[in-house]
Amino acid sequence: MKVLIVGSGGREHAIAASAAKSPWVEKMYCAPGNAGIAEYAQCVPIGAMEFDKLTAFAKENGIDLVIVGMDDPLVGGLVDEMEAAGIRTFGPRKNAAILEGSKAFSKELMKKYNIPTAAFENFTDPDAALAYLETAKFPIVLKADGLALGKGVLICQNLEEAKEGVKTIMLDKKFGSAGNEMVIEEFLTGREVSVLSFVDGKTIKTMTSAQDHKRAGDGDTGLNTGGMGTFSPSPFYTEKVEEFCEKYIYQPTVDAMAAEGRPFKGVIFFGLILTEEGPKVLEYNARFGDPEAQVVLPRMKNDLIKVVEACIDGTLDEVNLEFEDNAAVCVVLASDGYPLQYEKGFAISGLDKFKEHEGYYCFHAGTKFDGDKTVTNGGRVLGVTAKGRNLREARENAYAATEWVEFGNKYMRHDIGKAIDET
């Protein structure tokens, strides 16, 4: 089978590495890919939003299966276009990817179907939002409706900050058209857990849990990023929590989407927060998490291609998802200055060492080839993942492996998985 993966980050590298283990895959392509993905797939220089070129490439090259890793093309309708061209594609159609593409939509859905989430109001008029804030409780959370690279969420401590936030999102349009509409919601406290799941339109099978670290600095300080590291499983995701989520969150979400005439096929990522009142949904994503995929997929025992096909065919109920009884930790190596300004183009050394060690992975996020050298080409550069028998061992292994690779302006957090010590 010929497979095309769409995307270019660490998540897509993890998807490619997992798919490469499948005996069904003869040839893999990735658009646009990166220097690490090139080990498994032929990278083709087509951007993830160049739908016409992507469908033409898939047709010309006899692609049997497309896997869309990124949110933008999903929300933009790449799956619909591929399907219209007769190409089997894994991921939600546009009318279902709205679960991630519009926070206002997802909040209304949760309200309508009684899925636990923070109390909220949606606004299209900035004056109405400002008036609402006058009587609100603080801190409060402002969210741009659309996709904003995970940066469209503002936590405001007081009325002043919140008014400034409305201006930033709705008037200055800092996140572009994502700020045409806005959600204002209650501030929740608790531990965050990411649960990814496979969905075939009616059946949902959840994967092992994970936890991300979104802030740039140690001790959860500094700016929000795309994610600085993850661990899996989360020790805070207990059986009791899972039972609650199965009953009130997972299947109800899938059923709600089907009832709305928007059957969801693909990956639903549940961003959960474990509050004193119980688990609630902070956000949905319509794809694998990044860097959650880098700790979840290496632990999956199933053939990824078979699971993906079951989602497309509506036969997920026949699949028994299995994960290794171990743990994994991913530490992101970034360019110093990320998520603001940073330099690119530094040579990366030590990458070969990962090939010599079972259970260690170096997923490329922002790299490219410069002649025969691999150089840095982004804010997040690499995701160093290691497995261990338990979380502590996995963390030790991952941090040891971060020493194997060097590049100019290498930066990382030193406390990925620190929460494990509280258990």
- Nearest approach, Cβ of residue 104 and ligand AMP (Å): 12
SS3 84: helix
- 178 touching ligand AMP, by CB under 6 A: no
By beta carbon distance, the residue nearest ligand AMP is 283
Q: Select from 45-53, 74-82, 139-147, 289-297 the region that touches ligand GLY (CB under 6 A).
A: 289-297
Residue 200 site contact among ligand GLY, ligand AMP, none (CB < 5 to 8 Å, cut-off depends on kind): none
Q: What is the number of H-type helices and E-type strands within the chain?
A: 13, 22
**Least distance in Å: CB of 269 to ligand GLY?**
7
Say if CB 165 and CB 142 are below 8 A apart.
yes
CB of 2: closest distance to ligand GLY in angstroms? 27
Contacting ligand GLY (CB under 6 A), which of 289, 339, 366, 417? 289
419 binds ligand AMP (CB under 6 A): no
Find the binder of ligand GLY among 18, 232, 285, 385 (CB under 6 A). 285
- 188, 321, 350, 410: residue in contact with ligand AMP (rule CB under 6 A): 188
What is the DSSP code string of 263-314?
--EEEEEEEEEEETTEEEEEEEESS--TTTHHHHGGGB-S-HHHHHHHHHHT
Nearest to 17 by CA among 392, 281, 299, 339: 299
Partner interacting with residue 118 (select from ligand AMP, ligand GLY, none; CB below 5-8 Å by kind): ligand AMP
Here the tokens at position 374 are 């691999």
3-state secondary structure 85-126: CCCCEECCCHHHHHHHHCHHHHHHHHHHCCCCECCEEEECCH
The yes or no reply on residue 215 touching ligand AMP (CB under 6 A) is no
Q: Of these partners, ligand GLY, ligand AMP, none, which one is at the site of residue 192 (CB under 5 to 8 Å by kind)?
A: ligand AMP
Q: Taking CB under 6 A as the rule, does residue 200 contact ligand GLY?
A: no
User: Both tokens of residue 414?
Assistant: 């030193």
* CA-closest candidate to residue 391, choices 415, 418, 360: 418
Stretch that binds ligand AMP, among 94-102, 169-177, 187-195, 335-343 (CB under 6 A): 187-195
Sign of CA dihedral 309, 311, 12, 328: negative
Which of ligand AMP, ligand GLY, none does residue 282 bind (CB under 5 to 8 Å by kind)? Answer: ligand AMP
Contacted entry of ligand AMP, ligand GLY, none for residue 285, CB cut-off 5 to 8 Å set by kind: ligand GLY
Cα 211 from chain centroid (whole Å): 11
**Could you say which of 48, 110, 282, 312 contacts ligand AMP (CB under 6 A)?**
282
Return the residues of window 139-178 that contact ligand GLY according to CB under 6 A: 150
Residues in the chain: 423
13 binds, among ligand AMP, ligand GLY, none (CB under 5 to 8 A by kind): none
CA distances from 302 to 65, 293, 297, 323, 324 (A): 18, 14, 9, 8, 10
Q: Which residue has the tokens 């997920």?
A: 316
Binding site for ligand AMP (CB under 6 A): 118, 141, 143, 150, 153, 155, 185-188, 192, 214, 271, 282-283
